[in-house]
A and B are shown apart, each in its own frame.
Chain A
Amino acid sequence: MRGRGPVWLAGSLAALVVAGGAALAVGAVRLDLATLWGALAAGPDDSTAGVVVWSLRLPRLCLGALVGASLSVAGAAMQGLFRNPLADPYVLGVSAGAALGASVALLLGALGLIEAVGVVPLCAFVGAAGATWAVYRLAWLDGALPLTGVLLAGVAVGLTLTAGVSLTLLLAERHAGDIVLWLMGHLGGSGWAEVRWVALTTVVGVGAVGAFAGDLNALLTGEEAAAGLGVEVDRVKPWLLGASALLVAGAVSFCGAIGFVGLVVPHIARLLVGPDHRWLLPVSAALGAALLVGADTAARVALAAREVPVGVVTGALGGPFFLFLLRRRLGRAGR
């Protein structure tokens, strides 16, 4: 087709390697290339460089890449499925469920009722799963999932659960800061255990969405036309929504609702390789990984005194960029 797919996929992967290298090298302890290479080659050990690379920066880098890829692929799937450029991974209300689960866990932890540290991701995941289930139940009609219903149910469930999050903030009083920090989206303090879990949801979710790349292309023409092209519309939709929900749940449960990656990255990828999901999905994954790793590195070094949550960086960069895309699109339509 356009023939640009392989080129841009290679380019996106190169960007990921560069962003990853920067993420490993910079920070409170600055590592030059030789030291970094030595530490990587030596494997985990007790040297300063070894600890910095293997226990702090590498797991964080992996987590960022996995979460970036998850959110971007979920975003691309949602935009394709809903045929709406404003759709993002969070339209399903999944993130609101995760936020409520996490904030309840953090609240109970702050009140001394539970040991919050290990429980937060679990509670967030349960919240995300519950929200997904609620959206499905509300939208399901006569054995089919009308997408307008999914969208409305997602918004309604999201708003309701967000009210619950506000309540936990109120109840948490002076501990509200911890919850707010979590909600903003962050990659800090993560280790290999988190990486393993998110790797699982990412691989399963990206694989499941990727298997339907051709169907997503056909669905861009509308559900009826897609059915005429041989797409089992009523089976593909729940599958894609479920896979996207899994991707979002995995990412958000460990890192909070990192904004704009899932909205903006698919648009950038579409500008590069066009609307064919066979290329759009892999390029989105690689680009999303690179972008989030890069943004997180920026978040670590931007303010010397303290770390900025990466969600703040992606929001600050993503908002204006999205406006730029929107104006470009409107300009083209008006010509």
Chain B
Amino acid sequence: MLVADALAAPYGVAPGLSLRVPAGAFVGVVGPNGAGKSTLLRLLAGVLRPTAGAVTLKGAPLAGRPRRAVAQVMALVPQAGGLADDFTVAEAVALGRHPHRSRFGAWRPVDAAAVAEALAAADLEALRDRPVQALSGGERQRVLFARALAQTPEVMLLDEPTAHLDLAHRQRLLDLLAARHRAGLTVVCVLHDLNLAALYCDRLVLMAGGRVVADGAPTEVLTAEALATHYGAAVDVVAHPTHGAPQILARREGPR
């Protein structure tokens, strides 16, 4: 579905970066600060042009393709901030229809239906007429998510959608995302929270120093050794009592 082949970028990642995302995958991108996660996402989204290599989406390279055509297939959820304050929630979500509308095209029933469905899927119906500036952090993230849904994409790229959210809001957003994934959406999501990443993603890509250093199922990637090497963190890895996914427990140094 989405393939990065031997990419190089002006900053952030080491040359030769490659990644294959098959249709229907739920890929989590994890790694310490400065590992190049966001840069990889921006390269995949085509908002940052690679200096070498190519990104292909559904078999065709991104370079030289109209952004509109790309945005009809692939949506980007940027880090918090990609919202204009004066819009209402419904108006902000309606911007997701931009790639599907012609320059002077009217607002069609299909647009209205996509927005209504996105608002419902992101649990925002009650807030639809609220100005964006009056929302909490969790609600703003849901608006960004709903806007991406309104694009009716096949692939969604998310850059730390759970940053700055409390536990319940993180869980809620990822549950909503997982529901769309079950409905067929391909997901690439940068996540800071390793435990949630292990819980929701069926594949993790661990980045460090601008490279992919591990790529596989959460149990293969999130090992105590890998975390010690790449995060420099002393941790224990245990199995989640309910789901079996690997969960990270920090280890304290010295006596209490």
Contacts and interface: CB of A to CB of B under 8 A. Distances in A.
Nearest to B72: A230
B47 interface: yes
B68, B70, B71: residue with the most chain A Cβ atoms closer than 10 Å: B71
B78 interface: yes
Contacts of A275: 84, 86-87, 91
B82 A224 contact: yes
Interface in B13-49: 42, 45-47
Contacts of B99: 229-230
Contacts, number: 83
B42 A230 contact: no
Interface string B59-84: 00000001111111001101001111
Nearest to A270: B86
If over half of A's interface residues share one DSSP class (helix, strand or loop), that class is named, otherwise mixed; here it is loop
B188 to A, nearest CB: 13
B94 A228 contact: no
B151 interface: yes
B98 A214 contact: yes
Contacts of B151: 229
Contact of A224 (B47, B68, B94): B47
Contacts of B75: 228
A281 to B, nearest CB: 13
A225 B86 contact: no
Contacts of A307: none
B70, B83, B84, B92: residue with the most chain A Cβ atoms closer than 10 Å: B84
Contacts of B68: 230, 232
B240 interface: no
A218 B67 contact: no
B127 to A, nearest CB: 15
A116 interface: no
A218 B103 CA distance: 13
B95 interface: yes
Nearest to A227: B47
B101 interface: yes
Contacts of A55: none
A228 B103 contact: no
Given A227-B67, A230-B67, A217 B95 contact: yes
Nearest to A214: B98
A227 to B, nearest CB: 4
A1 B94 contact: yes
Nearest to A231: B67
A83 B83 CA distance: 11
B137 to A, nearest CB: 17
A229 B96 contact: yes
A220 interface: yes
A232 B66 CA distance: 8
A211, A220, A221, A275: residue with the most chain B Cβ atoms closer than 10 Å: A221
Contacts of B147: 229
B90 interface: yes
A1 B91 contact: yes
A38 interface: no
Nearest to B103: A211
Interface residues of A, number: 24
A84 B46 CA distance: 26
A164 interface: no
Interface in A113-164: none
Contacts of B66: 230, 232
A52 B46 CA distance: 61
B82 A225 contact: yes
B84 A228 contact: no
A227 B88 CA distance: 21
A1 B42 contact: no
Contacts of A276: 87, 91
Contacts of B71: 228-230
B91 A220 contact: no
Nearest to B87: A275
A274 interface: yes
Contacts of A217: 84, 95, 98
A222 interface: yes
B83 A221 contact: yes
A326 to B, nearest CB: 15
Interface in B125-173: 147, 151
Contact of A274 (B72, B91, B95): B91
Contacts of A232: 66-68
B90 A1 contact: yes
A230 B70 contact: yes
Interface in A201-247: 211, 214-215, 217-218, 220-222, 224-225, 227-233
Contacts of A214: 98, 101, 103
B173 to A, nearest CB: 18
Contacts of B104: 211
A2, A214, A215, A232: residue with the most chain B Cβ atoms closer than 10 Å: A214
Nearest to A333: B133
Interface of A: 1-2, 83, 211, 214-215, 217-218, 220-222, 224-225, 227-233, 270, 274-276
6 contacts: A221-B82, A221-B92, A225-B83, A227-B76, A229-B71, A229-B98
Given A217-B95, A230-B71, 19 more contacts: A2-B91, A83-B84, A211-B103, A214-B98, A214-B101, A217-B84, A224-B47, A225-B82, A228-B47, A228-B76, A228-B82, A229-B71, A229-B147, A230-B70, A230-B98, A231-B67, A274-B88, A275-B84, A275-B91
